Structure 1
Amino acid sequence: MAKLIALNKPFGVICQFSGDNNTLSDYVDIPNIYPAGRLDKDSEGLVILTDDGKLQNLISNPKYNKTKTYVVQVEGEISDDVASSLQKGVQLKDGNTKPARVKIIEEPSWLWVRTPPIRIRKNIPTSWIEISISEGKNRQIRRMTASVGFPTLRLIRTKIDKWHLGDITSGSYVTL
C-alpha cells in the first residue's frame, strides 16, 4: 500500500529532500517519499508526500486538473470587482490563467504565527482572500494578485483535491 503523508510546510522551507538546510528532510524522516507537486520557499501549508510515482503524477500533473485552495493575505483593501477579475482569469506573461474560485474572507482564526513575520506598513491595510485554482503555473497566485495590484504578503495552501490541511501544526505531518 502506498505511503501518503500530509505535511504543513513552514515558510522558508525548500520543497525537496536534498540540500544543506531548510528542506523537507528537516521535518519528515520517512525514507523514499517525495512531494506530489511543489510549494515555493515563500509559501506555507499543505504538501502531500508519497512513495507511489503514479499517485504523485496524478496529484501534481496539471493535466489532471486537481484543485488547490489557498488562503492569501494581500497588500491593500481588495474589492469585489478585483476578486471578480481574479475569478475570470488574468493575463500573465506566460498566458491567461484559467478561471478560479475567489472569495474575500476575514483573517483566519486558525492562523499560526509566521517566522519571520510579514512586512507591515502602518499606512497600508491588508486583506485576505481564499482562491482555488486547477492549474499550476510557477508562483501563479502571487503573479495573479500582483497583476491586479494586490501583492501577496502571505500564501498558505489549505487543500489539494480531497486532502485538507486541517489542524496539522506548522512543521508537522500526519499519515493519511
Structure 2
Amino acid sequence: MTEQTTHRHFIIYKPYGVLSQFGSNDSKQQSKRFLGMLYDFPEGIMPIGRLDEKSEGLLLLTTDGKMSDFVNSQKVEKEYYALVNGAITEVEIECLKAGVEIGFEGRKYQTKPCKVFKLDKDPNLPERSKKIRDARHGPTSWISIILNEGKFRQVRKMTSAVGFPTLRLVRVRVGDMHLNNLQVGDVVEVQTFF
C-alpha cells in the first residue's frame, strides 16, 4: 500500500527583479534575488511556468508535478497586463490577436491566436519598485493579452513585433486564479488551484 502525498500550493505576487527560481550556486547569480527570499517554502516546491526577472505578478507554486504539467499544458489561460510604449491602435491589436512571428530558440515562431484588448483605464496595480518612464517621453497604452501558450518572453516579443515594446508586464490571472488584492511579495498558501 502506497502512502498518499499531501501536496502544498501557493500563490504569490512575484516582485519585479526577482527570478522565478530557488537560488543558484552560479557565482554570476550571487547578486540575484530568488523566490526563497519571499517565504520559507517547503522542500520540492516548483514554480508553475515562469515570469522573467523584469516581469511581475501572479505566480503559482506547487509540490505537485502533475498540477504543474496540467497548468503548463495549453489548457489553462494566462492573462497579462502589458504597458506598451506608444498609443497602440486596433490595427496592432488585431495583428496580436491573429498571431505574430517572433524568435524562439533561434528559429521563427508564429504565435497562436489569442485574446487581446486595450484597457479603458490604467489598471489598479501596486507601484513598481523600479520607476517606469513617464508621460514626458510620449504616450503609453495598457493592453490585456490572454494566452494558452507561454514561450520565453512571449508577450514582450509579441508587442515588439507590432512596434510597441513592453515597458511593464504583470500576469494578473492563471486559469481561475486572480491576482486580486495581493500586494507585491505577498505569499498565500491555498488548498488547490482549480
Q: TM-score, normalised by structure 2?
A: 0.85
Q: Residue 16 of structure 1 is aligned with which of 21, 24, 27? A: 21
Tell me what 2:56 maps to.
44
Tell me what 1:26 maps to.
37
| Structure 1 stretches lacking a partner, 5+ long | none
Matched residues in 1 for 2:93 and 2:35: separation?
Answer: 33
Task: Give aligned-pair identity as a percent.
Answer: 39
Q: CA deviation at 1:65?
A: 3.0
Counterpart residue identity of residue 10, structure 2? I
Q: TM-score, normalised by structure 1?
A: 0.93
* CA distances 1:7-62 after superposition (whole Å, capped 9, x unpaired): 0000000000113441001112122211111110010000000011111121124x
Counterpart residue identity of residue 136, structure 1? G
Matched residues in 1 for 2:100 and 2:182: separation?
Answer: 32
Q: Secondary structure at the match of 2:79?
A: strand
Matched residues in 1 for 2:133 and 2:37: separation?
Answer: 26
1:143-162 counterparts in 2 under 5 A? 143-162=157-176
Q: Secondary structure at the match of 1:122?
A: helix
Q: CA deviation at 1:100?
A: 1.0
Tell me what 1:125 maps to.
139
Kindly tell me: are residues 122 and 91 of structure 1, through their superposed partners in 2, closer, same or farther at Cα, counting changes over 3 Å?
same
Counterpart residue identity of residue 31, structure 1? P
Q: Residue 185 of structure 2 is aligned with which of 159, 171, 174? A: 171
Q: Residue 72 of structure 1 is aligned with which of 52, 57, 82? A: 82
Tell me what 1:135 maps to.
149
CA RMSD of aligned residues (A): 1.3
Q: Secondary structure at the match of 2:11?
A: strand
Matched residues in 1 for 2:18 and 2:116: separation?
Answer: 27
Q: Residue 122 of structure 2 is aligned with which of 95, 101, 107? A: 107
Tell me what 2:11 maps to.
6
Counterpart residue identity of residue 107, structure 1? D
